[in-house]
A and B are shown apart, each in its own frame.
Chain A
Amino acid sequence: MALKIVKGSIDRMFDKNLQDLVRGIRNHKEDEAKYISTCIDEIKQELKQDNIAVKANAVCKLTYLQMLGYDVSWAAFNIVEVMSSSKFTYKRIGYLAASQCFHESTDVIMLTTNQIRKDLSSPNQYDTGVALTGLSCFVTPDLARDLANDIMTLMSHTKPYIRKKAVLIMYKVFLKYPESLRPAFPRLKEKLEDPDPGVQSAAVNVICELARRNPKNYLSLAPLFFKLMTSSTNNWVLIKIIKLFGALTPLEPRLGKKLIEPLTNLIHSTSAMSLLYECVNTVIAVLISLSSGMPNHSASIQLCVQKLRILIEDSDQNLKYLGLLAMSKILKTHPKSVQSHKDLILQCLDDKDESIRLRALDLLYGMVSKKNLMEIVKKLMLHVDKAEGTTYRDELLTKIIDICSQSNYQYITNFEWYISILVELTRLEGTRHGHLIASQMLDVAIRVRAIRVFAVAQMATLLDNAHLLTGNMQRMGICEVLYAAAWICGEFSEHLENPMQTLEAMLRPKVATLPGHIQAVYVQNAAKLFATVLKNQEGNTDSTAAQETSQLMIDRLPLFVQSANLEVQERASCILQLVKYIQKLQQKDVEVAEEVCALFAGELNPVAPKAQKKVPVPEGLDLDAWINEPPSESESEDEQPKAIFAKEEPKHSRPRHTEVDEKELARRREARKQEQANNPFYIKASPSSQKAYQEAPGVEHIPVVQIDLSVPLKVPGLPMSDQYVKLEEERRQKERADKKKKEKKKRKEKRSGRGRKHDSGPESEEDITPAHMVDIVTEEMPENALPSDDDDKDPNDPHKALDIDLDNLLEAAGRRPLADSEKLPVRAHRAAEAPKSPAEDGEAENAASQEPKKKSSKEKREKKKDKDRDRKKSKEEKKKKKHKHEEKGEDLLGGQADEPVVQSEETNEVAALPTSTSAEVSDLDFWLSNAPVPSNTQEAATVAEAAPVPEAASGTAPDSEPEEPKDTEMEETKSSKHKKKKQKKEKEEKEKKKKKKHHHHHHHSDGGGEESVQNGTVEEEEPLPPMSNYCLLAENSYIKMVYDIQGNLQDGSQVVVSVIFENKCDSFLKSMEFNVLDSLNSKLQRPEGSGPHDGLTVPFQLPPGVSNEARFVFTVQSIVMPQKLKGTLTFIVKNEDSSTHEKLDFKLHFTCTSYLITTPCYSDAFAKLLESGDLKCSSVRLEGVIMPFHHLLARICFHHHFSVVERIDSCASMYSRSIQGHHVCLLVKTSGQTVSIDAKCDEPTLLGNVLDEIKQTFSQC
């Protein structure tokens, strides 16, 4: 064996490690691929060896090769092997490789579940950490389901290092396994207040991620986040929270009001630009959500805009960029405040940085007015000419169109100018946005009647020069405008000056090279033109012209009849036959023009894009019902729905065709290029610089030749838009002069009204009248259109599954507590092994007794009515009180929970118990209605404490006990004000308990988690002092050991001792060995094969100042008596120059308490237990206990592993269970400083000892 290891390590010396591999690759620059393939062969050999070190080395190298683009999924199984190594070094390598190359369809992933679970519960926190990190990258739905529970347990781990990782990974688990969100959420929420800032930040992170997708479910957390925001100093956390508020404010404007002040303060006070920027952003979001116009808010806007201006003026390009980005958000709601900074933004258009120019472009949208539109667009057109990259140029193009077309062409005064701009844009090479230009042309031509003559003339020229647009393959995108041009010329052919020429242009053979959908439009519109031409020609005496036209059609159309495109073919052959028939008639001298024109008579009205969607469904029509039985599946797949509005809305129908065509074309082109590249006989065309830049693989090596394009490509015969700018200028001047004259005439005539529907431009601009009398036809909508403007969510969004209502979970657990199906799955065999807890019985009973409960609640309601009647008398008094409350209202933030209940009770006097929904809403409402914000949350807390309302915690109303009816009655009358809250609390607690029942097998020694769970019962009371169950084991100048003992529920004979070792000296501590002298009753569990006196190696070393935790398992036989075991820790203290052997003796004290396990119990099960009479009685009195009752209970719960079954005023029943199934029941009562505890247990010795220990606990404090 030893020989083998030695041999292995010698082998290893000759293996390449990662460094050698990298070096080798660098030395083989010429034949890298070949070298790597030999390396992969070597790696394959190495993976076949048994030695894990060799395997790990091989896997490490594979990780590197994966980065270079090699698929290493074939080694997935080997990676799993390395992951399961017991050595941290190898494990880490394995997990790293897995995180780089595993994904959902990696099949070996399912083999990892148990290994990961083992690592998660490893005593070494770094094993756990590595497993969590790895898992975060490759978690699958299966892994998430199987491990959710383990990870949730880790959220309460003692080490913050593990806690924060566990909290973060929960987000990934939620995504893959949404069912885990509800059960895990309460604990996640707890972590928002974790003492460790890292954990807190992780929790904030996760909740922000969740809330971003489904903000409405997290609105109720606003008060908590608000508290965090005002108290946290961690900028990272603050940024996240502030961003979250930005997402929440749109849902709740009142939240915004509350936020403005603290955010403004932060803006003034912070020095961190990142924080400042996020604050500004959120203030903007708030302002957007609020109705504008309030005086104090305009100040906030000014502040924001001011700060943003500072950012934009900064020399740091990053700040400039962000400033512009935020500015564009303000623009949407407060355009005027942004407009005053127009100079700055126009300046940014000239920035050398493309990102900044893009952002400035966004802002331009809001900068334009009737006055400056032409000027701005002219500037943009200059940029279009200069722009190098296609992305930026395309962006410019879309922006120009956006700016001009916004709000129904509000700012366009001269449509001739606009059409010529559009025509100029068609000269762009290689743009993707041809269809955008086309749809604008169509839209303008259809909706602005006055422009049709001009538009048709322009389009005719375009068609005439079509070869310029289609000359080159790269211009495919732009040929879309021909679609528009052809349609416009056809539809409005009566305006054409020379229809015959256009007809010829449309029937050129070259047209057949255009995409099919464009050809189809050509053919159809050629027919329309034909009709117009005929009409014109028939008026003449000479009939030959008309016959020649028909002949032209008959000559040219067969080309289209042969088209591969079905649409073209069909239309062409129809029209061809029609023309042939017309020709026949013409030869007989029949006048046909009128009838042919009738084919295309009628005006097309524009239809709003959403019109179809908004047609209301008639009553009684079920669109989902089958009209006929569905045909077989294969058939239905073939039937693609056809676009209905192909003509009016070309956007709808075309993309599909073009996409397919273009993809296919691109593929073929690529293939052909490859072929040509490899063909030595092919004479290559020198590629244009543009092309080479985009497609050549080794860009760096090809010198980019700048082609001087200073002479802009001009389409002959087209007017330049520039001249319109001048013309417009002149026109306006003239108009102004006219107007002055008119004014002198005291406005004898009223200015002719404009046909414009939207005339809401700034007042100064009213002066500019459009050049044409423009009639913008509004788009048609169906009658009875539904006003809904539903923006449907993407059904594939993974976050949709996380849209889970969490409020009831948080506030009023009663509405929808966790159903059984929602609990996290625990490993099945464990659950079977676990002895049945009484709580489970209780639960079953609960279910059975639900019916009677309902009845009882009815009775209660009636009782309440009576009470209410009584109360009316005292109403007057109460009202006074209420006024007092209101006076205080401003700083009563902390008392929020009580207040709304009081209010609602007074308003719904006779009403039955208000539903928990309203209560919870009113909680938030109340918090939100407190407009002024207390600057100091502590202040609020003290006020809350001082509130004169006695707190009664987990007392219960709905499932009251048979044994304590009096108490319940009394309580109801006494504090019905708080009943609802109590119910909530109680249910919340129950829920926690239920969950705990599921988790406590995994609770090893997480004091932190335990504490917070117990805190749940007394949340709003005085804060508990910090408590820890760890007590000192032994200490010397080198090391300190503290320990805690927890029972193991799965095995009635085991307890787990968690020992934290803390290195107190400046030296390195290593080789620690932990040994205990076993007694007959208790034994340390040692690994198989070791003797009964061998020590256990502590699985870590301690650098100076570091502490770490190790766990040791002991088997015990009898648990009724406490016990002490003697033990020794030996270790080596290593200095730089010397090392010494040291030892430390200790005594492990196994108290009876440590055999108890916190087990929740339902009150009815508890009652049953007491009635059964199997239990022996005992009692104890504690004198001079001066702590609040809830502290006392919390202490018993925390230190002695009890849980509160019920609490009524100063009396509480508690329950716990030993690892061997003994029930321990306590009834704790307090009066003054005396506490009496009556206890029952089926094992009197155990009970006696436990009581002694409790007494001990309280004598110490």
Chain B
Amino acid sequence: MIKAILIFNNHGKPRLIRFYQYFAEDMQQQIIRETFHLVSKRDDNVCNFLEGGSLIGGSDYKLIYRHYATLYFVFCVDSSESELGILDLIQVFVETLDKCFENVCELDLIFHMDKVHYILQEVVMGGMVLETNMNEIVAQVEVQNRMEKSEVSLFLDR
């Protein structure tokens, strides 16, 4: 199971947070801070797995993260997930973002947090991996975007 997905930038500013287990807001912020603290002091050439985040879970949980340019993508998972599998999944997710936003950059995530959530919802659901095929994810996202567009245009027409 995936317990949480966090995206934040090099300064620890959250860009997307998705907890699959309830934490109160202040706890969420604390977790983000702690995770940022753990992740940010690591070089880029060390491994992408981290143990010892004390706030989420216990020894069964691991942080698996990737660092892209200005953003950290951090998944907190338990031992039922394959470590390398999750790394691939982060890659799939980022590539999907890249396709949906056309050359995604941090600004896209800043201004379209909702859209990023909708894309993530097609990849992970309730802490479990829903789809790993990028084309399928993109197709579903696009159909829904078109639905949204048509509804908005209907609204403006009237």
Interface residues of A (CB under 8 A from B): 2, 5, 9, 18-19, 22-23, 26, 53, 60, 63-64, 66-71, 87-89, 92-93, 96, 100, 103-104, 126, 132-133, 136-137, 161, 164-165, 168-169, 171-172, 198, 201-202, 205-206, 208-209, 212, 236, 239, 243, 273-274, 277-278, 317-318, 320-322, 352-356, 358, 391, 699-700, 1070, 1100-1101, 1103, 1106
Q: Is the CB of A2 within 8 A of B158?
A: yes
Q: Is the CB of B125 within 8 A of A318?
A: no
Q: Is the CB of B85 within 8 A of A69?
A: no
| Smallest beta-carbon distance A501→chain B, Å | 43
- Chain B interfacial residues counted at CB < 8 A: 62
Known: A92-B118, A168-B125, A391-B52. A317 touches B151 (CB 8 A): no
Q: Is the CB of B111 within 8 A of A70?
A: no
Question: A209 to chain B: which residues have CB within 8 Å?
Answer: 1, 80, 128
Q: Is the CB of A161 within 8 A of B140?
A: yes
Known: A126-B144, A322-B83. A96 touches B22 (CB 8 A): no
Q: Is the CB of A239 within 8 A of B11?
A: no
Q: Is the CB of A133 within 8 A of B114?
A: no
Interface positions, chain B 77-107, Cβ under 8 Å from A, are 80, 82-85, 87-88
Name the one of A19, A60, A168 contacting B111, with C-beta atoms under 8 angstroms.
Answer: A19
Q: Is the CB of A103 within 8 A of B22?
A: yes
Question: A243 to chain B: which residues have CB within 8 Å?
Answer: 80, 82
Residue contacts A-B, CB under 8 angstroms, 7 given? A5-B158, A9-B155, A19-B111, A96-B121, A104-B22, A317-B47, A321-B49
Closest residue on chain A to residue B46 by CB atoms: A353
- How far does the alpha carbon of A273 sit from the alpha carbon of B118 in the complex, in Å? 30
Question: B131 to chain A: which residues have CB within 8 Å?
Answer: 164, 198
Decide if B9 is an interface residue (CB 8 Å cutoff).
Answer: no
Q: Is the CB of A64 within 8 A of B113?
A: yes
Q: Is the CB of A236 within 8 A of B49?
A: no
Q: Is the CB of B84 within 8 A of A172?
A: no
| Smallest beta-carbon distance B7→chain A, Å | 10
| Smallest beta-carbon distance B5→chain A, Å | 12
9 closest A-B pairs (Cβ-Cβ)? Answer: A136-B126, A274-B84, A317-B47, A353-B46, A103-B22, A69-B29, A321-B47, A89-B148, A239-B82
Known: A70-B25, A126-B143, A208-B80. A168 touches B128 (CB 8 A): yes
Known: A70-B25, A168-B126, A169-B125. A355 touches B46 (CB 8 A): yes
Decide if B16 is an interface residue (CB 8 Å cutoff).
Answer: yes
Q: Is the CB of B136 within 8 A of A88?
A: no
Closest residue on chain B to residue A104 by CB atoms: B22
- How far does the alpha carbon of A161 sit from the alpha carbon of B144 in the complex, in Å? 13
| Smallest beta-carbon distance B122→chain A, Å | 9
| Smallest beta-carbon distance A255→chain B, Å | 19
Known: A18-B113, A1103-B146. A318 touches B84 (CB 8 A): yes
Q: Is the CB of A205 within 8 A of B155?
A: no
- How far does the alpha carbon of A18 sit from the alpha carbon of B29 in the complex, in Å? 21
Question: A69 to chain B: which residues have CB within 8 Å?
Answer: 25-26, 28-29
Q: Is the CB of A1100 within 8 A of B46?
A: no
Question: B125 to chain A: which residues have CB within 8 Å?
Answer: 132-133, 136, 165, 168-169
- How far does the alpha carbon of A391 sit from the alpha carbon of B34 in the complex, in Å? 14
Q: Is the CB of A318 within 8 A of B87?
A: yes
Closest residue on chain B to residue A138 by CB atoms: B22
| Smallest beta-carbon distance A192→chain B, Å | 15
Question: A22 to chain B: which residues have CB within 8 Å?
Answer: 110-111, 113
Question: A353 to chain B: which residues have CB within 8 Å?
Answer: 43, 46-47
Closest residue on chain B to residue A322 by CB atoms: B83
- How far does the alpha carbon of A171 sit from the alpha carbon of B146 in the complex, in Å? 31
Per-residue interface assignment for chain B, residues 59 to 91, with 1 indicating a CB less than 8 Å from any chain A CB and 0 otherwise: 000000000000000000000101111011000
| Smallest beta-carbon distance B123→chain A, Å | 11
Question: B155 to chain A: which residues have CB within 8 Å?
Answer: 9, 53, 87
Closest residue on chain A to residue B149 by CB atoms: A89
- How far does the alpha carbon of A385 sit from the alpha carbon of B110 in the complex, in Å? 43
| Smallest beta-carbon distance B82→chain A, Å | 5
Question: B130 to chain A: which residues have CB within 8 Å?
Answer: 164-165, 168, 198, 202
- How far does the alpha carbon of A767 sit from the alpha carbon of B105 in the complex, in Å? 65
- How far does the alpha carbon of A239 sit from the alpha carbon of B80 in the complex, in Å? 10
Question: A53 to chain B: which residues have CB within 8 Å?
Answer: 155
Question: A136 to chain B: which residues have CB within 8 Å?
Answer: 125-127
Q: Is the CB of A1100 within 8 A of B147?
A: yes
Interface positions, chain B 115-155, Cβ under 8 Å from A, are 117-118, 121, 125-133, 136, 140, 142-144, 146-148, 150-152, 155
| Smallest beta-carbon distance A1062→chain B, Å | 14
Besides A88-B151, A212-B80, 8 other A-B contacts (C-beta < 8 A): A63-B117, A92-B144, A205-B129, A274-B87, A317-B48, A318-B49, A352-B46, A1101-B147
Q: Is the CB of B11 within 8 A of A700?
A: yes
Known: A96-B114, A136-B125, A318-B49. A88 touches B85 (CB 8 A): no
- How far does the alpha carbon of A1169 sit from the alpha carbon of B146 in the complex, in Å? 55
- How far does the alpha carbon of A81 sit from the alpha carbon of B80 in the complex, in Å? 37
